[in-house]
Amino acid sequence: MPWWDLRSLSCFGIFRERMREIQLGSHTVRSHGVTVARTHMHDWWILMLLVLIEIILYKIHPFYRFVGKDMMTDLKYPLKSNTVPVWAVPIYSILLPIAIFLVVYFRRRDVYDLHHAILGLFYSVLVTAVITDAIKDAVGRPRPDFFWRCFPDGKDVYDMLGNVICHGDKNVIKEGHKSFPSGHTSWSFAGLGFLSLYLSGKVQVFDRRGHVAKLCIVFLPLLVASLVGVSRVDDYWHHWQDVFAGGLLGLTVATFCYLQFFAPPYHPEGWGPYAYFQVLESSRASTIAVNTSSAQAVEPQVDDKQDGRSIHGCMGISLAPPSSGSTSNDIESGRR
């Protein structure tokens, strides 16, 4: 076999290995992490902006709604501590899903899946947090335990218009005007709702094979988020409407953010991100183009070999045989 044929075969081998690498999803953080991060650099900058906005919304004072004496009937529930502390919310709504994303990454070696899952999760939680705190500050609805926040000694005081004159701790009173919607619930459904969608795509829960046990995996994060919402009502920190609105808000934002990077769970390609299939398709197209060009380059070489031509392996220059005219002249001269 000529050395140029060996060269063509080596090219085929390289592209075959690359194709196999993509099909197995072996895009690691080391090989493609920087490229993926640069592609979504503006998304990360916007994410930092959302963090800043969330801090500002948390610091500013909410709207101090008019609270009359006749309204205190529904606001005299006891002041209790949180069953689910504030510091625990980012742990189960952000860190827990990221840990599961990492487990999937070490199994599939797909940096597109890891990056898009983390970015989508952050956007789901932060967009939900900004919307939640913006509504909290604008509405200023009193919490069910507002009476004891405003009057810790139990002695209520009102002005000439019938509005409360609070004499409790300022920070406690400020927090008492942030009932609607529930932040714990919205964060929980934003993070765990995103995780539920992610898991439903990975286990292909809607593959029409009847494995209903897969639904347990999908419903478990939603159950945890629902129990967090129930605890907010049990602790008298929120009315049931606050919890319902917070859960609906978080789950809606999580769905929108998930669909930005992944196909719906019922889709045949719902187990991977859009970027993975785009890279796979472009690689297939480039491989087909290389194979076609290589095949077109090999065919003339075979024809030239059959015609008895001498081919230069490096430059592709062929030395043509003598023309038919010169051959006939030699024959005639021989006859003469």
pLDDT digits 0-9 by tens, 44-83:
999 999 999 999 999 999 999 999 988 998 999 999 999 9
pLDDT in tens, 20-30: 444 444 666 56
16 or 233, which is more confident: 233
Positions annotated as catalytic residues are 184, 238
- At 314-334, the pLDDT tens digits run 333 333 444 444 444 444 444
According to the model, what pLDDT value does residue 212 have?
Answer: 84
8 Å CB contact between 176 and 239: no
What is the per-residue pLDDT for 149? Answer: 95
Please, which pLDDT band fits residue 19 given cuts at 50, 70 and 90?
very low
pLDDT tens digits, one per residue of 92-125: 999 999 999 999 988 887 888 899 999 999 999 9
Which positions ≥6 away from 281 have C-beta within 8 Å? none
**CB-based burial label for 210 (10 Å; 0-12, 13-18, 19+):** exposed
* Amino acid in the structure at residue 207: D
At residue 300 the predicted structure's pLDDT band, cuts being 50, 70 and 90, is low
* Model confidence pLDDT, tens digit, residues 199-239: 998 988 888 887 888 888 999 999 999 999 999 999 999 99
Q: Considering the chain, what percentage of its residues have pLDDT values greater than 70? A: 72
Q: 34 pLDDT band (50/70/90 cuts)?
A: confident
> Cα separation of 30 and 34, whole Å?
8
Give the per-residue pLDDT at 136. 96
- Using the predicted structure, report yes or no on whether residue 281 has a pLDDT greater than 90: no
Q: Is the pLDDT of residue 36 over 80?
A: no
Residues 6 or more apart in contact with residue 122 via CB below 8 angstroms: 47, 94
| pLDDT value at 275 more than 90 | no
Sketch the domain layout of the chain as residue ranges: 1-39+282-336, 62-272
Structure tokens at 216: 């347990």
- 259 within 8 A of 124, measured Cβ to Cβ: no
Q: Is the pLDDT of residue 130 over 80?
A: yes
The predicted structure's pLDDT at residue 289 = 60
